[in-house]
């Protein structure tokens, strides 16, 4: 059993202090308040007026630790020295939210804005920063080497020994909760419940907006107004309503961890975000035929792509390597293959010969056993034109020496598959410009490589005879709900006017 003296007539729990620091200081009056964690004092808090009374400084008189350059130190008046009291007061410099704390952490402009908007998370005025007291006590009595080392750590902003980095209270920080959340999500990946790509997206979101905004706000002090301001930050960054909603899911997970640690009783009210279904653009039959013809023409002529970027125009140094400024037949193959196979661009990037099997029977098609994507791992079958595309790509691969089972189908010589997919996207934009196909549809939606998947599914909905929605969804590795929200939602009456005007034949 540990018995420690309580050097104050008032006390408060650490949770209550973190929740309402200014109220704790307001009721202290001319007395110190002991802040307890697990029924043990961790530091003491005094009001500014009581601190002034203790140090003997006038209202306009600077503390000795903050004297101006060249200003001589005023001799300190004699005073008694209590080592126990001095050790307890040393914790004052470790109060969370010290202006000079965490100097090793890079703070961007958004983090500074957060501190200015919401104030310091621990209440600067109520914590009674102890640098002045340290300077005065040092003048009054000898300082032990251990205390000198501790003072040096405080002056450098080292909060490694503070209550916020020790024990259970270390999780009352969003960065600590974020580390714990990443560990839990990685465990889900090992159990096969989550894809590794999802964890990567989570980390990107934590680093991009969540931690820069919440890093200096204890989870126990999050309010609905702070959440409104966070959503405003995301909105100002031109993020869609879907992305904003996904960011709130990340914050909700962190706050649930805070509840598990006992810092919150319930999740604060979060802003309501209405997610608007925004289907991707697609190509019409005429536009699809135009881009395929143009891709073949550019490949035969060997024209060189202009080194342009839509946002900045011509550039002296371009990210596309010179060997990829001329169009190989892979682009025309990729366009036709995507429209006749329902695959995503990410599937196209990872497609290898070992994933493809040509099936010839009553129907001719490709059976593709691709790696799992978005929790779907069922084989996919293609339309018949995809067979001719694959056999053409395979014949060229045999000539180039890339026909082994582990070789990639498209751009097999490029081992950096992210770069390979980016090059395909660059070529697709170039082909659309040359074909006279707008880069945006009439609804202002960008046409990227992904629009070919949308085109593939929409062509089946429009021109497939008696297509079964469930079969289409499973073969495209999606769900009926997603097709209804993002694909079939783009259908209108004019697209199937012949069907609307059709009549049943009467039996004779």
The pLDDT tens digits of the residues spanning 400-440 come to 999 999 999 999 999 999 999 999 999 999 999 999 999 98
Give the separation between CA 1 and CA 465, rounded to whole angstroms: 81
pLDDT exceeds cutoff 70 at 392: yes
List of domains in the chain: 10-157 (no CATH), 171-260 (1.10.150.130), 285-500 (1.10.443.10)
Under DSSP, the state recorded for 505 is P
Q: Which residue has the higher pLDDT, 197 or 176?
A: 176
Tokens 């004019």 -> residue: 494
Q: Which residue has the higher pLDDT, 395 or 445?
A: 395
**Strand 33-37 and strand 10-13: pairing?**
parallel
Question: What three-state secondary structure class fits 439?
Answer: coil
Greatest CA separation for the chain? 120
Q: Which two tokens stand for residue 233?
A: 């930050």
pLDDT exceeds cutoff 60 at 128: no
Q: Which two tokens stand for residue 461?
A: 């909905």
Residue 4 has what pLDDT? Answer: 67
- Averaged pLDDT of the chain: 76
DSSP labels, 62-99: PPGGGPPTTPPPPPPPP----HHHHHHHGGGGG-TT-T
Question: What three-state secondary structure class fits 308?
Answer: strand
**pLDDT tens-place string over residues 339-383:** 999 999 989 999 999 999 999 999 999 999 988 766 667 889 999
Q: Which two tokens stand for residue 111?
A: 């983090």
Mean pLDDT of 178-197: 91
pLDDT exceeds cutoff 70 at 124: no
Q: Which two tokens stand for residue 10?
A: 């008032």
pLDDT exceeds cutoff 50 at 131: no
Nearest partner of 26 among 39, 12, 43, judged by Cα: 12
Under 8 Å CB-to-CB from 276, ≥6 apart: which residues? 241, 242
Say if pTM beats, i.e. exceeds, 0.85. no
Mean pLDDT of 86-114: 37
Nearest partner of 182 among 209, 165, 218, 207, judged by Cα: 207
Strand partners, 367: 357, 381
Confidence label for 133 from pLDDT (cuts 50, 70 and 90)? very low
Q: Which residue has the higher pLDDT, 305 or 231?
A: 231
Which of 69-73, 309-313, 391-395 is modeled with the greatest confidence? 391-395
Give the separation between CA 132 and CA 100, rounded to whole angstroms: 14
Q: Which residue has the higher pLDDT, 23 or 72?
A: 23
């Amino acid at each position: 059993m540990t018995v420690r003296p309580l050097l104050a007539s008032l006390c408060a729990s650490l949770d209550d202090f973190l929740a309402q620091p200014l109220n704790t200081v307001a009721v202290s009056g001319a007395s110190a308040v002991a802040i307890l964690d697990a029924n043990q004092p961790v530091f003491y808090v005094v009001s500014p007026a009581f601190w002034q009374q203790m140090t003997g400084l006038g209202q306009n008189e600077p503390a000795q630790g903050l004297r101006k350059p060249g200003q001589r130190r005023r001799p300190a008046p004699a005073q008694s020295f209590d080592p126990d009291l001095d050790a307890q007061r040393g914790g004052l410099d470790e109060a969370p939210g010290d202006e000079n704390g965490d100097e090793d952490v890079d703070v961007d402009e958004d983090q500074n804005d957060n501190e200015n908007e919401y104030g310091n998370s621990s209440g600067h005025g109520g914590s009674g920063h102890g640098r002045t007291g340290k300077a005065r006590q040092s003048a009054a009595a000898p300082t032990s080497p251990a205390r000198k080392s501790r003072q040096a750590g405080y002056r450098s902003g080292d909060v490694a020994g503070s209550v916020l980095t020790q024990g259970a209270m270390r999780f009352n920080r969003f960065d600590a909760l974020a580390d714990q959340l990443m560990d839990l999500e990685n465990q889900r990946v090992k159990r096969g419940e989550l894809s590794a790509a999802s964890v990567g997206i989570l980390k990107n979101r934590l680093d991009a907006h969540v931690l820069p905004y919440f890093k200096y706000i204890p989870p126990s002090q999050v309010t609905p107004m702070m959440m409104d301001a966070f959503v405003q930050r995301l909105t100002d960054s031109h993020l869609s309503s879907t992305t904003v909603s996904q960011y709130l899911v990340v914050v909700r997970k962190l706050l649930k961890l805070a509840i598990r640690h006992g810092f919150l009783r319930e999740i604060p009210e979060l802003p309501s975000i209405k997610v608007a279904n925004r289907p991707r653009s697609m190509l019409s039959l005429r536009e699809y035929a135009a881009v395929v013809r143009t891709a073949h023409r550019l490949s035969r002529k060997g024209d060189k792509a202009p080194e342009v970027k839509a946002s900045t125009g011509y550039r002296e140094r371009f990210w596309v390597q010179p060997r990829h400024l001329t169009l190989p037949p892979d682009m025309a193959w990729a366009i036709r293959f995507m429209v006749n196979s329902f695959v995503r661009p990410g599937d196209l990037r990872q497609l290898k010969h070992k994933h493809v099997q040509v099936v010839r029977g009553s129907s001719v098609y490709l059976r593709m056993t691709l790696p799992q994507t978005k929790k779907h791992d069922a084989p996919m079958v293609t339309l018949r034109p995809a067979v001719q595309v694959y056999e053409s790509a395979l014949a060229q691969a045999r000539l180039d020496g890339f026909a082994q089972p582990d070789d990639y189908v498209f751009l097999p010589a490029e081992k950096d598959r992210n770069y390979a997919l980016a090059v395909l996207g660059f070529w697709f934009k170039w082909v659309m410009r040359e074909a006279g196909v707008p880069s945006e549809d009439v609804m202002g939606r960008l046409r990227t490589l992904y629009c070919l998947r949308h085109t593939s599914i929409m062509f089946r909905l429009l021109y497939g005879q008696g297509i079964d929605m469930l079969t289409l969804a499973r073969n495209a590795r999606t769900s009926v709900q997603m097709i209804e929200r993002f694909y079939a939602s783009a259908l209108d009456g004019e697209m199937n006017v012949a069907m609307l005007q059709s009549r049943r034949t009467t039996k004779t």
